[in-house]
């Protein structure tokens, strides 16, 4: 079995594949203080919930934007899975041509999403990933990664608002009953949710005007459904896009 890690600034998504089937997936908090032994305990307990055995894992793939966790995850792979992990970084096979000025600057998570998106849906594509940052990536019909945009994520913006405005409370990030908030909580929810809907629509529409093709728009990430359900500019929501991309990259590089 293959264990895949998608390490973000806020959360770490973990998945286990048996051949091409995703048989377990979980999301935990990214914590740079955890040791490899602590990760082993957590993964063992999570696998147990799905009746999976830790000892059956014999390959590991890691995509990370948090360098501080890498040593412990590499230690986990060596000590408990008896393998060297495949790390998504410059030099590995992806099947894509990265048309960035400096391809090494493209985040591993963006590359993984692009690989999965192009494999599953073909091109051209715009992939929107709602995480700590909201990223927009464009892939053309040839499988070339053309670039994109990076904006603050929904939770980052919400946390910044609360931390800088003393009288404003922290709120649940859900759609309010109306855009016309009748109290402080619903007013904040309206501003955040519909503000980000407007941002997503604005960036996607500007990208489409600049491109010479009509892309399909795929949304993924932990907060995708909160925004994607409020706009008609997103064609598909794919929660497991990154998991699938990590497995595909493993298949491309297993030799």
Catalytic residue (one of 109, 159, 232, 251): 109
- Block residue for tokens 């990590």: 246
218 beta partners: 127, 236
109 given a catalytic annotation: yes
Cα–Cα distance for residue pair 239/230, rounded to 1 Å = 17
Q: Measured between alpha carbons, how far is 211 from 50 in angstroms, rounded to an integer?
A: 44
**How many residues does this entry show for the chain?**
255
Q: What is the dihedral of CA 118, 122, 126, 129, to 10 degrees?
A: -40
CA 97 to chain centre: 20
List all residues 6 or more positions away from 10 whose beta carbon is below 8 Å from its beta carbon. 29, 30, 131, 132, 155
CA distance 190 to 161: 14
Tokens of 41: 């305990």
| Per-residue DSSP letter, 169 | P
> What span, in angstroms and rounded, lies between the C-alpha atoms of 130 and 219?
8
Catalytic residues: 109
């Amino acid at each position: 079995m293959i264990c895949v890690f998608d390490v973000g600034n806020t959360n770490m998504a973990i998945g286990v594949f048996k051949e091409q089937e995703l048989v377990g997936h979980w999301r935990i908090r990214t914590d740079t203080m955890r040791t490899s032994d602590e990760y082993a305990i957590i993964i063992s307990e999570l696998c147990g919930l799905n009746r999976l055995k830790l000892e059956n894992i014999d390959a590991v793939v890691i995509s990370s934007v948090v360098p501080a966790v890498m040593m412990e995850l590499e230690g986990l792979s060596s000590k408990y899975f008896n393998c060297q992990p495949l790390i998504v970084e410059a030099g590995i096979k992806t099947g894509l041509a990265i048309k960035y000025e400096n391809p090494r600057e493209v985040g591993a998570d963006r590359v993984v999403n692009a690989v999965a998106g192009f494999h599953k849906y073909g091109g051209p594509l715009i992939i929107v990933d709602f995480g700590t940052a909201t990223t927009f990536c464009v892939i053309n019909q040839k499988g070339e990664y053309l670039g994109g945009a990076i904006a603050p994520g929904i939770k980052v913006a919400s946390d910044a608002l609360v931390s800088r405005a003393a009288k404003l409370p922290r709120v649940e990030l859900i759609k309010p009953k109306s855009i016309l908030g009748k109290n402080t909580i619903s007013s904040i929810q309206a501003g955040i949710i519909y503000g980000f809907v407007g941002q997503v629509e604005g960036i996607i529409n500007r990208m489409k005007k600049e491109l010479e093709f009509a892309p399909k728009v795929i949304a993924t990430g932990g907060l995708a459904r909160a925004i994607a359900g409020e706009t008609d500019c997103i064609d598909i929501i794919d929660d497991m896009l990154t998991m699938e991309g990590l497995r595909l990259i493993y298949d491309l590089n297993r030799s």
